[in-house]
Structure 1
Amino acid sequence: MKKYLIVVLLVTSTILGANAQLLPSFQFGVKAGLNFSNLKSEDGNWLDASTRTGYQAGVWARIGGAGVHFQPELYLTGKSSEAKLVEENEEGKVTFTSLDLPLLLGTRIGLGPAGLRIVAGPVVSFVVDKNIGDALAQVPEFSEYKNQAWAVTGGLGLDISNFRIDARYEHGLSELSKNDAAPQKVNLWTIGVGYRLF
């Protein structure tokens, strides 16, 4: 009788655990990290940009159970690039401060407190501050930038208990310059560490 009782308890706990994984869930947390960005012209001939380090800090949420989850995020992001205009031989630093809103779909591999995540989706950025070096500000191609940009991002994440670690690549889709003859896009890598509050 004891053996049957133990088997029944094991089967019941397994079924309840599996069902818990299938139920939709909601998570919310905070996150901070670094980005490594550069601003480039599409052809690469007239704008030579080197990568600089920036920051990001904000909040994230995750909605969904086993299988696919939806993960919206909101960050204050500082992006920076060291730019050199090839023809004009001008150099300067360009920085953008933006509110970034990634809308990600992902899946999680693993059960319990540890798991590997794969995420991808669009990012819309609302530029709140633009700072262009004095030398570059005199060049028409650099003096006018749009206040909104789109990108696509994807990467891997790791969950360890309440901690979250992410590494992603973000590819700019929108032309930042208002001058169509001088298209520019921002591409960046990000590394972030987050904590699940609930």
Structure 2
Amino acid sequence: MNLEDIRREYLQGGLDISDLDENPFRQFKTWMNIAIEAELSADPTAMILATVNSEGIPRQRVVLLKHADEQGFLFYTNLGSRKAQDIAENANVSLHFAWLPLERQISITGKATKLSVAEATRYFLSRPHESQLAAWASQQSSRVSSRQMLEQAFEQMKNRFKKGEVPLPSFWGGYRVVPTRFEFWQGRANRLHDRFEYLPDGEGWGINRLQP
């Protein structure tokens, strides 16, 4: 199979500045709601989180967005993970949402700040019991000799917390990404895609069309 021959046209629609909300958070919410209602996949809230460590090495992974408002975008993780280590060294991150069946993408650049223990606890206690146990069992990003070792750790946590509430691990928490830039992308025919950038302009957000 020749990968160069795989292509398609983007014909679902266009995007003009008059279609956009002046507030990028509201525009994000509109597109997110459309993606959820379209039932495009099992994970419409999936986003690529890109980090760069102190050596300038970039890393990406898919995480799930758990809350979004004008204060920022929230996700949760093990605080000893590679993503958390990268953020401790360099708080600049980017988020990327790709809803390809809708021919839409959103890119967000911003700074990640750690959530308070109270905020992390509130979310942790809302998770399914098994997910709470998995957070305790996994030393995320650390090497493990076998799948069996991981499953044994999970069973140990089941026994440890078989009675009562599972508490928040001290090594688990969340981050809020505070945006400094948004880009909304809509596919168009002939690769003349529509791209609009939101940047702070002192009083709110300015919007600029970008060439594809």
Relative to the length of structure 1, the TM-score reads: 0.30
- The structure showing larger relative contact order (alpha-carbon pairs under 8 Å, at least 6 residues apart) is 2
Larger Rg: 1
Give 1 or 2: higher helix fraction.
2
Relative to the length of structure 2, the TM-score reads: 0.28
Give 1 or 2: higher strand fraction.
1
